[in-house]
Every structure is written in C-alpha cells, then in structure tokens.
Amino acid sequence: MNAKTLWRLVKSSLAVAVLTATAPSFAADWHEIRSPDGRLEVEFAVEDGQAVYRAEYRGRAIIDRSVLGFRFKDRPALVSGFKIADVERTSTNAQWQQPWGERRIVTDLSAGLSAVLSSPDGRKLRIEFRVFNDGFGFRYQLPGKPNERFVVSDEVTEFAFSQNYKAWSIPAYREKFSEYEYSRSALSALSVVQTPLTLEGNGLALAIHEAALVDYASMNLRMAADNTKTLKADLTPWSNGDLVRARGGQNTPWRVVLVADSAAQLADSTAILNLNEPSRIGDASWAKPMKYIGIFWGMHIGKFTWEPGPNLGATTARAKEYIDWAAKNGIPAVLIEGWNRGWDVPEWWQNGKSRFIFDAAAPDFDMAEVSRYATAKGVEIVGHHETGAQVQDYLRQLEPALDYYDRFGVRSIKLGYVGTRLDVHEWPDGQYAVEAFQKVVEATAKHQIAIFPHEPVKDTGLRRTWPHVMSREGARGQEYNGGSPDSGNSPDHVTILPFTRLLSGPLDYTPGVFDFDYREKRPINRVPSTLAQQLALFVVLYSPVQMAVDLPENYEGKPAFQFIRDVPTDWETSKTLMGEIGDYIVTARQDRHSSDWYLGALTNERSRALSVPLSFLSKGRRYEAQIYADGAGADWKTAPERVTISKRIVTSRTVLNLSLAPGGGQAIRFKAL
Amino acid sequence: MNAKTLWRLVKSSLAVAVLTATAPSFAADWHEIRSPDGRLEVEFAVEDGQAVYRAEYRGRAIIDRSVLGFRFKDRPALVSGFKIADVERTSTNAQWQQPWGERRIVTDLSAGLSAVLSSPDGRKLRIEFRVFNDGFGFRYQLPGKPNERFVVSDEVTEFAFSQNYKAWSIPAYREKFSEYEYSRSALSALSVVQTPLTLEGNGLALAIHEAALVDYASMNLRMAADNTKTLKADLTPWSNGDLVRARGGQNTPWRVVLVADSAAQLADSTAILNLNEPSRIGDASWAKPMKYIGIFWGMHIGKFTWEPGPNLGATTARAKEYIDWAAKNGIPAVLIEGWNRGWDVPEWWQNGKSRFIFDAAAPDFDMAEVSRYATAKGVEIVGHHETGAQVQDYLRQLEPALDYYDRFGVRSIKLGYVGTRLDVHEWPDGQYAVEAFQKVVEATAKHQIAIFPHEPVKDTGLRRTWPHVMSREGARGQEYNGGSPDSGNSPDHVTILPFTRLLSGPLDYTPGVFDFDYREKRPINRVPSTLAQQLALFVVLYSPVQMAVDLPENYEGKPAFQFIRDVPTDWETSKTLMGEIGDYIVTARQDRHSSDWYLGALTNERSRALSVPLSFLSKGRRYEAQIYADGAGADWKTAPERVTISKRIVTSRTVLNLSLAPGGGQAIRFKAL
C-alpha cells in the first residue's frame, strides 16, 4: 500500500501543527517529576483544557502525550475544560520491612506531584503522581462528597506508547480468566488484554499494571481505535454495564508503569508494593511463610476424586497419612481439598449450582480427629474453601466458616472461585468481585487466618496492606500439567511467568513434580519440565507458601527431595541475575534466617549453557554449593527424571557454568561455611 | 484450582461414555481416506446423525472428532439427522505446470472421498475430501437448485485440535486487516484470527487455510465457547449480518489443513494450489514475472508526495528518470503511483471520500509521453489503481480504466484498496469483497493485464486459475519500515512470514533497501535489517514480481546491487532448507531459465551461525558461489549497510557455514560452471 502511509503522514503533520500552534502554553504548563536517580522523567500538564502526561527513561520517550479523565453515566464528563487549581510536590525517602517476602527491606524513594484540576462546573479532580527509579504510578481522586454516589462509564486513561514494542499478554474477558499461556506479539496486534502487560523494545522493558485495587474495577487495556500504539484503560464492567459505582472522594487504584533496562531488572521492581498502603494487621507473625503438601495432585492426575466415591481424596485416614508424612519430612502443613460438604452436588462448577457448606465435614472426614492428630504431630492443616463462584453464599457463611476453622486450629485457607461468573452474572475481576473479596480479606484478618486465593482477583500488591493474603493463583498453574484435557502448559511458560504474572505478586504455582509417568490415567498430559527444573521453580517462582505438589510416595527415597526440605520460603533479599522472557531465567535469593543463598535457573524447550558469576555471595566467604542439575541425557520429553546432585566449594569470585537440558533447570543451595 | 479439573474430568468421562455407548455405529461408519504415502489419515463419518471428521499424521492424532454442517437464516439447519446417501472414492495422480511460480512442476497426488448426505427433509449436502501427502482439504456443495437463493447464518465447520499447539496468528476484524505482525501464543489463548493460522507442537507443523475463495466469505477461526483447543469457522459477515448469500449447488471454498514434519517442510506445501481449478486464461505468457522499481519509496520516507505539491512524486520528468535508470540497469519495469486524478481530494483515505479517476492523468503527468518514452527505452510501466476502498465506483470505471492502460501499453497494475470498509460498510474480506474482486480478476484477464492487489482479499491459491493475479500484499510489508508512525516491523517479522502469510501465496513485500539512513525525514522509523538480509529477501519471500524498493540513486555505485540484477523472479524449483518460525530460515531456489541456484538466509534480531549442506546442487557439477554476507560488525541497529561480497567454488558436497548478523542475512548466487 501507499496511500495508507499518506494518511499517516497527514495525521502526523496535523499533530505537528497542533503542537506548534500551542507551543507557548506547552512550555508553560508541563510539570516535570523526575525519579530520584534522574533517569525516569514524567511530565504532567493541562494542555488545551486536557489533563495529559508523558514519560521518558534515560532520555528515550516511552509514553507520548496521553490523556487522563473520566466519563460518567449520570453527570458531565471530566475530560476537557480543566484548569490547574493547585499543584503540590511530594517525595518519599524511607525503608520499610516486609513481615515476609522476596526481600526483607523495601526502599521507598520517590518524587511526587499532586495536582488539583477544576472543571468548568467547579468539580475538583485530583491526580497524584509518584515517580520511583523503577517506575511510576498515578491515581485519581474522584470529586464529590463522601456520601455522593455516581457511576463511572469510562476511565479515559491512555498509555500512548512511543514504540511498537514487543508485548507479552493474556487476553481479557475470556472464560478461563487469567489461566492462559502468554502470547508474544507486537503491541499493535493487541485487542484487549489483562495486566500486568509486559513490553520490550528499544533496549527497555516496561510493564503496565495497577496497585491497591480494593474498591474499584480491574483495569484491562484496550487498543485505542485509530492508533496502533495507544492502549487505554478498559475497566471490567458490572453485568449492567456500569464500570464503577463510585463515591465522592474515592481514590482509584494506582495506574503503574514499571520501567527497567532489562526484563531481569523489571522482575525485581518494588514500585507496586510501595504504592500500596502500610500493613493494617499489626503483628503479622501469624501469617507464616511455609511449605506444604496436599491432598491435591492425586485428584489432578486422576488417582483421587473430590466427590464421594471409591477413590475419594479427603478421608480421615488419608489425611493422617499425609500428616504423618509431613511430620516425618519436616513439611509444616497439609492442604486437604474436598473435606467439606457439597462436593457431591452434580455439576457444581456450573454457574449457580454449587451448594458448599463450610462448617461441616463430609461423611468420610472427621475434622476433629484430623485436627487433633495434626496438632499432636506438630503439623498444620491448610483449610480449603471452594466457593463455586457463589460469593454471596460464601460471605453469608463466612463467619461460621472461620469460627469452624478457629475451633480446629486451621490458620490458613486456600480459597477457590471456580466458575465462569460470580453469582451467575458478574465477571470475577469487576468491582463486584473486588469488593466481595475485600470482605473476605478483612474477615480473615480479624480471625488471623491467612488465605491463598485461587481464581482470584488479580494481585496488585495488597500483601503490603494485608500480609495474610499470602499467595494467589491467577495464572495457568502446574495443575494444567496434571489433569487438563488441553494438555498442559508449554515448556516456555515458566520462563515467561516471572516477567509477567509474577510482577503482580506471589504465585501459588505448586512446583515439585518428581514422577513424570502418570500416563496410565492421563495419556495426553505431560509436565514439560525436568526434575531439576521442578526444584528450581521453588526459587524462581516466588511464593511465601510453596506446595510440594507431588504425591508423598513419589518423593520417597529420592535424594533430590533434600532440596525441597532445605529451600526456604522467606527471603532476606532476591535478585534476578539474568533472563530473556520466554527463553530462560536465573534467580538468586538469600535465606532470611541464615547466610545461605539459593539459585534457580530455568530454560524453555531448548537446552542452554549459562555462565553465572556468583558475585551476589558475601565477599570472602566460602560456600558449599549443593547442585541439583539436569543429568546426562535429561530432556523433558524423554528423560525428565534424570538429575545429578553434586557439591563443590565456591566463593563470590566463582563463575558457575550451568548446563540446562530441554525443559530443564538447575537448583543450587549455597550453604555458608 | 482444583475443581475446574474435576469439571474437566467429568466432561472427559462423559465423552468416554458416549464413545462407548455408540461403539457399534462408530466402527461401522468411519470412512478412512489415507494419503498416497500413507502417513496422513483422514476419517469421515455420520455418527449419531452428525457429519464428523478426524485426522492423524504418522499415527499421531492432529484433529479429533470435529463437526461439519450449516445453519441458515431462512431454512432449517443442516447439522443433524444426516444419513449417508452415497459415498464415492476419488483419486488424483498428475503433474501440472505453473506458467510461473516457485516451482515449475506441481505434483497432484491425492486420495479423495465424496459423500452425499441427506437431511431429514430430503435436502442433499455433499462433502468432498482430498487427502494429499502434505495436507488435506474438504469442501461442501450446498443443497438446492442453481436458481435457489438462501443465506448462510453459520458454517459449523470445526477444527478440534488434539493438542494445545503453539500458534502463530494475526487477529481478525481489526482496522488494519492483514497488516499486523504475527502473535505467538498457545492455541488456547486465541480469540478470533485470520487464516493462514500456523501451529506447531508434538513434532509437527500445521496450518489452517482455505483454497479457491471466489464467491463466498473469507473464513476466520474463532475459539469455540467451552473448549480451549477447538476452533470453528467464522465467516466474515456482510454489514447486515448475513454470512453468505448462497445459491443452490454452490461449492464452498476448500477448508485446508496443511501438515508437515517441520515448519520448513510446511513452507513448501502445494496442497492449496492443487485444490484450485486449472488455469482459465490459456496462454499466460503475458503475465510476466519480473523485477521493477517504483516511484513509491520516496513517498514512504517523506521525500515525495502522492498529492500535488512541490515534492509530487509522479511527474513526467521523474517517471522518465526512473525509466532511464531501469533501462540502464536491466530492470524491466517502473511502477508509478499517484499519476492519476483524485490524489488531491482531501482525506481521500477516509471511508467514502475518494474520487479517483482512472482514465485521466493528473496535470503534472503526461501519460502519452511517459508511455512513448518507456516503449522507446524498452521499459514497461506498472500501472496503479488506488480505489480508496470504493469498489463500486472502481467497477463502474473499470472498463474505461483498462482501455486507457491498453492504449498506453500498460500490461500490469498494482491495485490498492486503502480504507477501513469497502464502500463505507463492508469488510474487505466478506463475500461482498470477494465477489467484487472476482469481477476485477475476470475483467483484467480479458484485457490481458496482470494485477498485484494491495489491501487484497487474502490469497487462496487463485493464481493457478488466474495466473495474471501475480502477487498480493495482505501483510505488513516493507512500507511499514519506511513511513509508519508505529515505527516499523520487528526484526523477526520476515522470519515469520514464510511460515504464515506466504503459505497462502506470493507476497509483494518490496525488498531491497540499501540506504538505511533516512532519519532526517523519519526519525523514528528503521528498517530492522542489514543490507545482506535485504538481498536475501528476494529469494526467501517468494513473489513473481519483485520491486527493488529503494530510491534508484541509493543503488548507484553499490556492488551489492549486482545481486538484484542477477536474481530471477521465476523458478524451476524451490526448497526451504531449514528454519524455525520467528528465528531464521534458509531457502534455495533454482532459476527456471538457467542451471543457477540461489540461496537466501534470514535471521531475527539475534546473530546466528548456520551450516548449510549444498546437497540441492546438481551432483558432480561445479558452481561459483557469489556470496553477499553480513560484513564484520554488521548489525541492523548500528551498521546495517556492512556487506561483504566474496566468491568461491562449491559443489553439492560443500557445507557452507553462514554467519548472520543481528537482523542479518545472506544471499548467494550459485552460478553453474
């Protein structure tokens, strides 16, 4: 074609003309907010009555002039005619401590700007920016008095990217929500996608996400109509089309742009945590990082069932077996799925059909006895609340359900929201879902019970405010490798997650498959991984609670299980050493309770040799590297179980050469000597 | 999650139960059609009244039980209650010759089955299968008498893939139609995509496309609601929602599944050509493969304009300059864009605004004089018809327009359909578009004028029937690297096209950029390629007409231009030697008019070393390899122009080691000695 380009040219010329015509106001109105290290520069202005921003990193434009504002169902829009009523500069320079986390100390260093804009009819819209070294955020405070109610029909927020970056995305508004493998595409090919959205190009890595989503709809990103590089906010609606049922003075979540020199650096960003409010639960020591096993994988591979029958998973006897095994192997907790009443309801996973009871055990399960036994063995029970996406029914039962767990000493619950719509009608990430989940967050906080939500509202850094929300699913997890008829994940999936889904928070992926031969019951399913990679996942895919997923008997007599015994779930600090999205990643983390370090390396379907300088280790100290590597001929397809365990002495000056098999990995404990 | 999996389990169990219950009819009704080499097995049945098919390749399931049928706006559906009225076996074993092509001889070797199904109300639906070694096709013949008219409201056709393959796709129903970069994703993440759709996994490469689209709507593929591996036909609708306004007895296009052991093998498939009808134009010697230059790139990089003004591209004087240059450099033809009346209409690219006149030149262009001059110099003019997507207006003017070109000896036309909808309302790949284009095909055939459509209906192998439809755009071409404000293509784009878009037919990509420094006028645009790669594109991206795209002055004094002089556009045979989608490709082609061979190799943004055995060369013969390789330090970002030209003697026993720079490539002429 040709004339298309003419069209583009003309459009570009017009844009230039506009800029030229408004050059005087241009110069006058742009407020610059520069990150403390000076590299990231965000500018805000009211230009021709529009609220706009743009951003540069290291002198390269990343986001061009992008419009901010709102439309409402029941009152005039706030998109034009703005004047700046007030501008205030802010800054932060602090360190704070995570009760648990991938790093103990988080540095909160930022420059900020808070602008009050007045609309022609006198309403005031506040827009607040915070610019960190590793990204920036902005949020709106909606106008009106606290008792005012109104409906947001469009959040205008644009992200007009300067380049047609490479994008890693999952689609929005699909039946399986967040449980998709990531697509790699040009930014220009996107339609409507979820966040975090990760972008690469021009020597940069970017991600768009949000922070502190507590009383608003989730933000998706939709391609703007006439442009191939501009995405705009697309809030998940209520079933009647309302986007947000807002109140006067409400703050929106922060809209966050993470920026880094590389994907590896992006993976270590802390801006989202810094944009969340400090903890509201005081002493959080009851929300404990830990490993657990579960009556879980047996269901996925078809050995057990959730519903009553000859192979029922959650029986008193089996729970005791698992408790015994956990106690013997130093695993602090056991998840029991399918213990309560309701699993026998036919097709409960279909909208509106489930009838779960949360304070009564199914006939084959004696909660009192199991609880007593667990306590005697020093093992915790991880409870399980499958809501079947009937959230009002769950909320109605929530207090008795938590009382019940209190009574039996259950201090953490895996939550499930299986279904295609909440309460038949509502998307699982609209305001309806967010507010319903927040009620669960607050109720469980009062009971001092930690939660691990599956099919969750996406994480937006809420663990800072509510550290008992420990880890979420919200991704296509290991379970797909076990019992999904669409035959599992691709081998590159785990090399994409750390740069995409993990940017939002911890992931309850459930690593640790040791027995790859379950074809008898699942002929088409494969775990696209070697055993060494399964170990490395404990390090790379951060979660404060990690379920060693395989059947206990599959760990018996396996020397490699020692790594699962050893690997901590709470860290002093963490560093993504290297990585390319979809290809490989190497992550190092320091144990919070010792001087030991751990390293995990993953590759996709290709074998790979990597040289890793151990400069993260303490200078002058010697470590015993306990190395769990892919064995000779290991390959996820043909010989996944081959693992070689070796030891050597290393220091911070050592450069390790890692050899990773197809679908392989390597896990290392650096034991401080 | 967990219970989702339960859901899946239950679903699987039900499916098994159904199969068991119907086992007797199962065994009785499946008709096997096996490819001549025995590797590809397609089975067709009427099972429980449904027409269904499935396919295996080398004993591995590729498509599970998939349903066939139709729904109509104005009569009962044809989806159930079928009985088989008649089954006929067919086969082909022939060779036919392409007047021009990537190979002269095409082998048509297939097994076939044609089944007539009767519906409960007595209507007859014919379904016809053809199974080749490299894929299979099936089509429907709709019931009714030739004068019957009815409206298809759904084509049920399913593709229930056996695995969650990796998919390479572009989205359907988007403003830029086919001009997107390809996304790489899991099959399960697709929403609605165009064809060809390319899939990889389980050691296979697959593609879904169609053949012989002449009077029907284009087929897109949409994810089925409750499944993550089943795509179904999604026909591009008319603006009123009709899918196809059909007539009794009409054949649908062939639905085609290409199958191969590797992506490289997939790229050489011929099934789509074999499923098209033989040529209807008799002696096609007037449709000539050729190279051309054009008054084109100057517009894209902002040096010239299409519309009148100081830098107008299409002037008599400039046309003569280009003709002189073509004559001097052995280039047979010159494309002239912007020569006719209508380019001064403001915003002509917006729906319904264009007012192009096709039989009158713009004031600065003297067609008679340019034509006379070209003839005298022995150079052809490639004409240009930009329709501005107003196809009825174009069809109304078509005869006088073709008469006009006849008068001035113009034997080929580049067509343009710039706009977002045809005639304001219709998608550019619905039945409206297909039928309007077919009128142009037939009219130009009568005039013996070849056409190169841009913004075309997608190719479906029509060049077999109408060999004057020589090459199409229908992809994100080189032009995006020149003047697109969304900053061009990614370096991997050209390594994806041969495995995706090119499966449908030749691509008018316009290779041959030599001057990469046009930042003065296009600061954000880059050609993500080295010069050697630009040469290799002439070999890899097959087109019978290849425009050397750069400004003639940029070729002056460049030794590498010799390759563009030498490289043919018509081939005796072709072979994709190796390749990985999105990473690299190496293609070899033999000149149709000499014993010379040519090789093109491309890599994505990564440098790459490849060992290429030259076993395709004639045994025992010596060749002078004229090698155009990336020079030392070449890199698309920093030093794209560095090219090294060398010569060496090789034979079919030589193994060449190719070293490709980031964004690089290599082009080789093997001159037979």
The pTM assigned to this predicted structure is 0.86
Rg from Cα positions in chain B: 25
pLDDT digits (tens, 9 = 90+) for A13-64: 333 333 333 333 444 489 999 999 999 999 999 999 999 999 999 999 999 9
Cβ pair A163:B228 closer than 8 A: no
pLDDT digits (tens, 9 = 90+) for A113-139: 999 999 999 999 999 999 999 999 999
Is B479 annotated in the active site? yes
Give the span between the Cα atoms of B494 and B530, in whole angstroms: 12
Cβ pair B487:A302 closer than 8 A: no
Residue B210 scores a pLDDT above 60: yes
Chain A partners of B12 at a C-beta cutoff of 8 Å? 485
Cβ pair B454:A2 closer than 8 A: yes
Mean pLDDT of A338-357: 94
The answer to whether A578 touches A602, Cβ cutoff 8 Å, is no
Kindly state the DSSP code that residue B426 receives in the 8-state scheme: B
More confident site: A522 or A531 = A531
More confident site: A8 or A540 = A540
Chain B partners of A179 at a C-beta cutoff of 8 Å? 1, 4
Mean pLDDT of A263-270: 98
Residue A661 scores a pLDDT above 60: yes
Give the span between the Cα atoms of B244 and B251, in whole angstroms: 12
Residue B351 scores a pLDDT above 90: no
3-state secondary structure A600-627: EEEECCCCEEEEEECCCCCCCCCEEEEE
Kindly state the DSSP code that residue B294 receives in the 8-state scheme: E
Q: Give me the pLDDT at residue A225, please.
A: 75
CB-count burial class (<10 Å; 0-12, 13-18, 19+) for A375: middle
To the nearest whole angstrom, how far is the Cα of B34 from the nearest Cα of chain A?
A: 24
Cβ pair A1:B348 closer than 8 A: no
Residue B244 scores a pLDDT above 50: yes
Q: Give me the pLDDT at residue A488, please.
A: 81
Q: Give me the pLDDT at residue B525, please.
A: 77
Q: Give me the pLDDT at residue B225, please.
A: 75
Pick the range with the lowest mean pLDDT from A339-343, A522-526, B410-414, B626-630.
Answer: A522-526
pLDDT digits (tens, 9 = 90+) for B558-573: 999 999 999 999 999 9
Banded model confidence at residue A340, pLDDT cuts 50, 70, 90: very high
Q: Which of B184, B227, B296 sits opposite A184 (nearest CB)?
A: B184
DSSP assignment of B37-67 equals TS-EEEEEEEETTEEEEEEEETTEEEEEEEE
Q: Give me the pLDDT at residue A226, please.
A: 65
CB-count burial class (<10 Å; 0-12, 13-18, 19+) for B24: exposed
Rg from Cα positions in chain A: 25
Q: Which of A7, A225, A300 sits opposite B5 (nearest CB)?
A: A300
Residue A230 scores a pLDDT above 80: yes
Give the span between the Cα atoms of B361 and B367, in whole angstroms: 7
Banded model confidence at residue A486, pLDDT cuts 50, 70, 90: low
Q: Which of B183, B305, B307 sits opposite A185 (nearest CB)?
A: B183
Residue B603 scores a pLDDT above 90: yes
**Per annotation, catalytic residue among A41, A102, A426, A479:** A479
pLDDT digits (tens, 9 = 90+) for B6-28: 444 433 333 333 333 333 344 44
Residue B384 scores a pLDDT above 80: yes
Q: Which of B4, B185, B306 sits opposite A6 (nearest CB)?
A: B306
Kindly state the DSSP code that residue B424 receives in the 8-state scheme: T
To the nearest whole angstrom, how far is the Cα of B474 from the nearest Cα of chain A?
A: 9
Interface predicted TM-score (ipTM): 0.76
Q: Which of A188, A296, A486 sits opposite B180 (nearest CB)?
A: A188
Banded model confidence at residue B517, pLDDT cuts 50, 70, 90: confident
To the nearest whole angstrom, how far is the Cα of B306 from the nearest Cα of chain A?
A: 7
Mean pLDDT of A471-476: 96
Computed over every residue of chain B, the mean pLDDT equals 94
pLDDT digits (tens, 9 = 90+) for A443-462: 999 999 999 999 999 999 99
Chain B partners of A418 at a C-beta cutoff of 8 Å? 1-4, 7
Nearest CA in chain B to A167: B183
Strand A149-155 to A70-72 pairing: antiparallel
Banded model confidence at residue B483, pLDDT cuts 50, 70, 90: confident
Length in residues, chain B: 673
Cβ pair A386:B186 closer than 8 A: no
Tally of CB atoms within 10 A around B327: 17
Residue A10 scores a pLDDT above 70: no
More confident site: B78 or A521 = B78
Chain A partners of B349 at a C-beta cutoff of 8 Å? 3-4, 6-7
Computed over every residue of chain A, the mean pLDDT equals 94
Pick the range with the lowest mean pLDDT from B22-26, B54-58, B438-442.
Answer: B22-26
Cβ pair B180:A186 closer than 8 A: yes
For chain B, count helices (H), then strands (E): 14, 36
Chain A partners of B182 at a C-beta cutoff of 8 Å? 185, 189
Chain A partners of B180 at a C-beta cutoff of 8 Å? 186, 188-189
Q: Give me the pLDDT at residue B227, please.
A: 72
